[in-house]
Chain A
Amino acid sequence: MTDTIFDFNGSKNAGWSQPSPLTDDSTSHIPESMRRNRLPDWPRASEPELVRHYTKLSQKNFGIDTGFYPLGSCTMKHNPRLNEKIVQNPGIDRIHPLQPEEQIQGLLAIYYEMQEMLAICSGMDAVTLQPVAGAQGEFTAIRCIQEYHRERGDNHRDKVIVPDSAHGTNPASASMCGYQIIEIPSANDGRIDLDALRSAVGDDTAAMMITNPSTLGVFEPEIAEAAEIVHSAGGQMYYDGANFNAILGKTDPGRMGFDAVHYNLHKTFSQPHGGGGPGSGPIGVKEHLSKFLPSPLVNRKELPSGDIGTVGDGFLYHWEAPASSIGKVQQWNGNAGAVVRAWAFYRRYGRDLERMSEHAVLNANYLRFRIMNPSSDLNIHAMPIEGCPAEVVKHEFTLSMSPLKDATGVTGKDVAKRLLDFGYMAPTLYFPQIVPECLMFEPTETESKEVLDKFAEDFHAILAEDPEILLTAPHTTPVGRVDEVWAARNLILRYPKDEPSS
């Protein structure tokens, strides 16, 4: 093993200088039995070595900045750099969440504006910015729904319905609240099966969790009817906002009949994904659920005329606890830095957020058309088939690579790996599970026509290649195909030197 951060042979002391402690004798205040005997085996390297180490690592990492990232369901759109600049401001970076309200009026004003904006875009009545990821938003909303049923004495409602095409976080989040999961099959065309839903609901239904457009990228035309079925059984409708990028300004979960919704600020509102996070997963709810929201929310009071207030808009901003709040799901008030980035992103579009969704949908349909209509002189082994027949898709679409697998033995995974050689991130692989050999593409609104044209062209070239090249792909990446089974079998989860015994 070479080139890990633990292999440097440089400085034996910390390479980075610090001021001296204020006193010399403080250590004597720690009882002797509690003192650490042996310092951790952390790297011993200087700043020049570390900057180069991490720069080299970054060069072995693929991001939106390095190339097209059509990872379906993840909305990998461009991250404007203005937003990164703004969060370096000490007015957010050097703020403590427990500072009194008078000291953080600017932050509260941004929170208030974001609560209002998200409520407007989703047709909800109240919004909390506390959940720090989409999955935590789901969990929070289901907790609110749970308290709603309890308050009404409906303790027997112990089941949550999810379609089989739902994101895995939906059943996992409901299960963490103690609910049993009823999975209902999709209809043959991938859409919600209303008959299956009718036979699944009952007086034990607490909620249904569903995303629309579905994970197949198709709008559910019968969503209002689905909501009606669940509501008439006394259940609540939960909207998974992972696919919100498709519908802003065109429709909203409120109109569709939902009672609660989460937003992924890292998808729709471009908080950078950072290799796996941070995210931000605010939720919005209808009036009847609002008193259960996590605490606190931000509200404001109009100041007497003539007093413009700290932020200059004539209002005093303050925290407010919902009457029957479930309390906290995160220690503080959410990922404030992500909220501020999302605020800066939304301000670029303002009332024209609709244009963003239009272009996300335009690009998805265009890419789908380009891929499904190759020029005839290519020697493609087998064309994919659409995961779901639809005249138009929304922001993403699915393709099944089964015909290729049948013709050549090449799987969806092989195609995905080969795309890496062409300088692309692979689409989402094998999700949703109801589409065999599934690839899910989401180009987002920030890719140009030329990128989409070139991608379709390269995709076709791959489908015409010698299967052997695909089966052994990738060939040009920093490492070849990684053996995941080996990793799970050997479980080398840290640098092996001086491993503490368990």
Chain B
Amino acid sequence: MSETFKGKSTSRRAFLRGAAAAGAGALGAGAAKAATPDPLITETQPWARGFGDGVDVTPYGLPIRFEDDVVRRNVDWLTADTISSINFTPIHALEGTITPQGCAFERHHSGAIELAKEDYRLMINGLVETPLVFTYADLERFPRENHVYFCECAANTGMEWAGAQLNGAQFTHGMIHNMEYTGVSLRTILAEAGVKPEGKWVYVEGADASSNGRSIPMEKALDDVLVAFKANGEALRKEHGYPVRLVVPGWEGNMWVKWLRRIEVTDAAVQSREETSKYTDTLEDGTSRKWTWEMDAKSVVTSPSPQAPITHGQGPLVISGLAWSGRGAITRVDVSKDGGKTWETARLAKPGEKMALTRFYLDTTWDGKEMLLQSRAMDETGYVQPTKTQLREVRGLNSIYHNNCIQTWWVKPNGEAENVEVS
């Protein structure tokens, strides 16, 4: 249960080995002429002669083996044990906005449990007219909704408060995923039990041994919270709360209770461990903010980035990134190549959607010189993603959660990138 989001330990790392050489070798490749014919074209290749796999070789497919480095990874020194820990989505290697379930980050407090649909029960109790128990089959008979939402852990980028620490977008910003959920609105389920007038909060809890529980104000519960049982068209994965999880749009991931088993209507917040000792934000004077539920606007360049260096030399370059806001839709993203001196407005792949990831691109030409790459998101409230310095001025240095600062990647002439802080 321990999260030390500012740890130190050393480990050798060489994941950019060869990147520099590749960059140099391919320099100006766009204009180059082929000296000799390409055997991949002139010689008949095995795959052009024989057979591939027949249907049914893989009844449920995984990515082709060439992509087997695009996986979730964890950071050993963060937590005492993987049973109560977190790993990171490989956002540096993904495109578009939907996160495949198989590589969407996991966060457990007592491990990912196996709970069969037949064994699933959801209880609504507390300040309601009729306390009720639903089976999984019952939930499938309520009217359904479909929505795409991001789920971001409040601790995403938390290790970067004190300074640039982890070298890769996966590790600095990968406690996030974005899926299309199918489920029943919590409002509908609460109505079935009948909320009493003195009910001001709902307390939601999971069926696993950690019994993770959070209090949600009634206004939010009746607004857009979803009791979800499908993601991206298929059943939730075990690690994301199969068969049923809560979806709390725009609010910190810890509230998205997995293996949801109980919803209690209460007259006050329960003040559980996860809403007092954790997920609270200590300011410079030692007082702490609580109930910091909303995830503010944030963005990051996913490529180029430390795990996704430029390998093609100068010329056309696609700068690709993600932006999101827990307070509405992303309306604009600006990109800077010089550490924030000048900015260009990037192109949104699609208009921003409320509480969902937005993909942005800057289609540019790289001159082969070093860049200090940054992105800056704006949402429909007019909020502009702050710098780390601005955040520190208000919150001090002891925060862990809700670090939505502008990220800087130092891209070097050889195409490698590094996580840095700038003045």
Chains A and B come from one and the same complex: no
